[in-house]
Amino acid sequence: MAGVTFLSAEVLLSKRVQDMVLNGEEPPPLYICRDGDANEDVSSASSSIPIIDLSLLSSSAPGSKQEEELENLRSALCSWGCFQAVGHNISSSFLEELRQVGREFFQQPIQEKKKQAKGVEEFEGYGADPVPEEGQPLDWSDRLFLDVYPEDRRKTKFWPENPASFRVVLEEYTVKMKMFTEIVSKAMAKSLSLEENCFLNQFGERGPLQARFNYYSCCQRPDLVLGLKPHADGSGYTVILQDDVEGLQILKDGQWLTVPTISHALLVLMGDQMEIMTNGMFKSPVHRVVTNSERERISVAVFYTPEPNKEIGPEEGLVSEERPKLFKKVKDYADTHWEFYQRGMRALHVAKV
């Protein structure tokens, strides 16, 4: 109904979650998506997300160490679809600077943040996701979503001028993410005994990087809302920087597991397109974010996606008689993913053979 959609858009754009919290408002019905039992089947994690030391994968590390860590990487991505990357050469102080400029942006008065406000149906800018389909709950979060690479895709009107160092820090993080994704993409290929550039070639040199600063306000009723509803990413893969507040959970073997916060680690999480390119070897895990009644949480997710209009598909080296092709070639999968996401669904079946 047009009226309802309009109301949602109003809520999304003029009444940010952060303001509702500052005004002491209870979550409106549009945000309610849980049944009040915040403790449902969250495991106390007897096993935890694998940690991979990327410094062991560089050519200067002893060969046996490299082999061992590549095997750990392969096994992490086949069973979990994600890992915590350490030894990545990005300093802890720089990661803290990035979190800090994000925090400072969200801590500004709403009028200041609205200078970067997005349109209801736009992705880029400050606000919330475009209005979901009727019946879908809203996320208890505020976001700043920016195209960061290639540089000619940047829309500077959405890049905050305050805090003053925001732009420089994000530009520097983009350069680091470009290098990081090269290292990780090559390592993933090697771990599967494939030519090391094969995934990079599928992404293409202009494979976009998009940064999403997620701000999860405290919520007096964490048992009723979610910071981010359950989903798998439509990216190739995603690199997530968390702060020291837990909230991200991964669905593994039917149980939600909380991703521990490690201040110097970057969580690398497979999106659907890596599941396609690896012919189903690497898993794109379903994940969500829960809120917390005491502390707000910030995260910075960088989505790495194949170039627009570029066909991607299972690597031939991963297709055999015993392992037939599971997926077709697809292009612009992220768009298809988005259409299903808006309806609260996964899209991967669309790419199945």
Ligand X SMILES: O=C(O)CCC(=O)C(=O)O
- Residues of the shown chain interacting with Fe ion in the complex, contacts defined by CB under 5 A: 233
Contacts (Cβ under 8 Å, ≥6 apart) of 44: none
Partner whose binding site includes residue 248, from Fe ion, ligand X, none (CB under 5 to 8 Å by kind)? ligand X
Structure token pair of residue 98: 């990035």
Nearer Cβ to ligand X (57/209) = 209
Q: Minimum distance from CB of 238 to Fe ion (Å)?
A: 6
Check if the beta carbon of residue 131 is closer than 8 Å to that of residue 341. Answer: no
Could you tell which of ligand X, Fe ion, none binds residue 212, using a CB distance below 5 to 8 A set by kind?
ligand X
Comparing CB distances to Fe ion, the nearer of 129 and 233 is: 233
Side-chain-side CA neighbours of 141 within 13 Å: the count stands at 26
Helix (H), strand (E) at residue 269: strand 266-270
In the complex, minimum distance from the CB of residue 35 to Fe ion, in angstroms, rounded to a whole number:
23
Comparison of 315 and 341: residue with beta carbon closer to ligand X: 341
Q: CB of residue 231 vs Fe ion: minimum separation in angstroms?
A: 6
Residue 4 C-beta: closest distance to ligand X, Å: 26
Partner that binds at residue 242, options ligand X, Fe ion, none, CB closer than 5 to 8 Å by kind: ligand X
- Is the Cβ of residue 233 or residue 272 nearer to Fe ion in the bound state? 233
Q: Which is nearer to ligand X, 49 or 240 (CB)?
A: 240
Q: Which of ligand X, Fe ion, none does residue 310 bind (CB under 5 to 8 Å by kind)?
A: none
Nearest CA-CA partner of 241 in 226, 261, 257 = 261
CB 271 within 8 A of CB 233: yes
Minimum Å gap between C-beta 282 and ligand X is: 17
Q: Which residue, 309, 302, 303, is CA-closest to 329?
A: 309
Q: Kindly tell me which of 17 and 248 has the beta carbon lying closer to ligand X.
A: 248
Partners of 301 in beta bridges? 212, 240
Nearer to ligand X, 69 or 275 (CB): 275
Cα atoms found within 13 Å of the Cα of residue 321, Cβ hemisphere only: 0
AA letter at 168: V
Cα atoms in the 13 Å half-sphere on the side-chain side of 325: 11
In whole angstroms, give the CA distance from residue 344 to residue 341: 5
Out of Fe ion, ligand X, none, which partner does residue 210 contact, by CB within 5 to 8 A per kind?
A: none
146 or 192: CB nearest Fe ion = 146
**CB under 5 to 8 A by kind: which of Fe ion, ligand X, none does 174 bind?**
none
Q: What CA–CA distance (Å, rounded) separates 136 from 139?
A: 10
CA distance 34 to 269: 25
Question: Any idea what the Cα angle at residue 52 is, between residues 50 and 54, rounded to 5°?
Answer: 165
The site partner of 72 among Fe ion, ligand X, none (C-beta below 5 to 8 Å per kind) is none
- Residue 199 is which amino acid? F
The binder of 299, among Fe ion, ligand X, none, by C-beta within 5 to 8 A per type, is ligand X
Closest contact distance (angstroms) between CB of 145 and Fe ion is 12
3-state secondary structure of 126: strand
Which residue of this chain has its Cβ atom nearest to ligand X in the complex?
A: 299
Closest approach of ligand X to the CB of residue 106, in Å: 13
Q: Which is nearer to ligand X, 187 or 250 (CB)?
A: 250
Report in angstroms how near the CB of residue 159 gets to ligand X at its nearest.
19
Residue 334, H or E segment? helix 333-341
Q: Which does 8 bind (CB under 5 to 8 A by kind): ligand X, Fe ion, none?
A: none
CB of residue 233 to Fe ion, shortest distance in Å:
5
- Across 258-286, b (16+ Cβ under 10 Å) vs e yields bbebeeebbbbbbbbbbbbbbbbbbbbbb
Sites of contact with ligand X (CB under 6 A): 212, 214, 228, 233, 240, 242, 248, 287, 289, 299, 301
